[in-house]
């Protein structure tokens, strides 16, 4: 055996980037597999914790609360989902990367987890944090004593409470799509191919930004001048 032979299947593909084929669930080409066995183990633990274990526990509390008539247990499950989303967003903002699992146990171990690194992770992280914070606020308000009717009435009375986070989240998510994660290119033909492949994501991202800006603008107007936007008067 050669002294420089790879010591594991992961090391034999160390840091490989994708070959230009979009890797689900994102239509981008800049992903890579973990570079070392240690990185693979860290990515696996993170993905399993944030995408499987934490959501499963939260959904168990949510469904169990509904089934047993324990509303506070259900609200605790909702709060758990919000906290998990905030954690995903915080890691994306701090590390400027997103982690995904591709396929399942049938996918070869070397290409089961993909890492997307770059500026696009920042708006994605903000979108996750906004979503998680919104869900967490609703759950905590219920746990603090507000009924579902009171929460609904508060939302209908002042729609900006939903429009502002919704608009901000759509803007951030759209920016993430528009910026994208693109693989390195070596020629103008390669750049053209990657640009064409990314074009649908760019268009979709810009549309999300426009919808988000509209929702955020309406929410801001309603917040500053409640009587000035009669179309939002839902009660």
pLDDT per residue rounded down to tens, the chain (235 residues): 334 434 443 444 444 444 434 444 455 667 888 888 898 999 999 999 999 999 999 999 999 999 999 999 999 999 999 999 999 999 999 999 999 887 666 667 777 888 888 899 999 999 999 999 999 999 999 999 999 999 999 988 889 999 999 999 999 999 998 998 877 777 777 778 777 778 888 899 999 999 999 999 999 998 988 776 665 655 5
Q: Is residue 138 part of a domain?
A: yes
Domain range holding 135? Answer: 11-232
User: Quick one: angle between helices 160-179 and 188-224, nearest 10?
Assistant: 170
Q: Is residue 5 part of a domain?
A: no
Q: Is residue 200 part of a domain?
A: yes
Q: Is residue 80 part of a domain?
A: yes
Query: DSSP assignment of 132-167, as one string?
Result: HHHHHHHHHHHHTT--HHHHHHHHHH-THHHHHHHH
Q: Is residue 222 part of a domain?
A: yes
| Domain count across the chain | 1
């Amino acid at each position: 055996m050669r002294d420089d032979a790879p010591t594991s299947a992961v090391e034999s593909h160390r840091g490989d980037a994708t070959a230009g084929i979009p890797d689900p669930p994102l239509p981008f080409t800049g992903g890579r597999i973990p570079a070392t066995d240690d990185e693979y183990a860290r990515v696996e633990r993170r993905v399993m914790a944030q995408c499987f274990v934490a959501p499963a526990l939260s959904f168990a509390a949510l469904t169990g609360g509904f089934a047993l008539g324990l509303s506070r247990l259900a609200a605790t499950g909702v709060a758990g989902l919000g906290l998990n989303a905030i954690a995903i967003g915080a890691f994306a903002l701090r590390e400027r990367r997103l982690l995904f699992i591709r396929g399942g146990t049938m996918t070869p171990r070397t290409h089961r987890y993909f890492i997307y690194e770059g500026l696009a992770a920042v708006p994605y992280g903000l979108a996750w944090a906004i979503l998680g914070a919104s869900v967490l606020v609703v759950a905590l308000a219920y746990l603090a004593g507000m009924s579902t009717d009171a929460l609904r009435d508060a939302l209908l009375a002042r729609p900006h409470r939903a429009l502002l986070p919704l608009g901000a989240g759509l803007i951030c998510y759209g920016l993430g799509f528009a910026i994208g994660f693109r693989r390195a290119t070596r020629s103008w033909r390669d750049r053209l191919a990657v640009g064409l492949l990314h074009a649908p994501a760019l268009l979709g991202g810009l549309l999300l930004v426009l919808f988000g800006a509209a929702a955020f603008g309406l929410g801001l107007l309603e917040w500053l001048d409640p009587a000035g936007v009669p179309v939002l008067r839902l009660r």
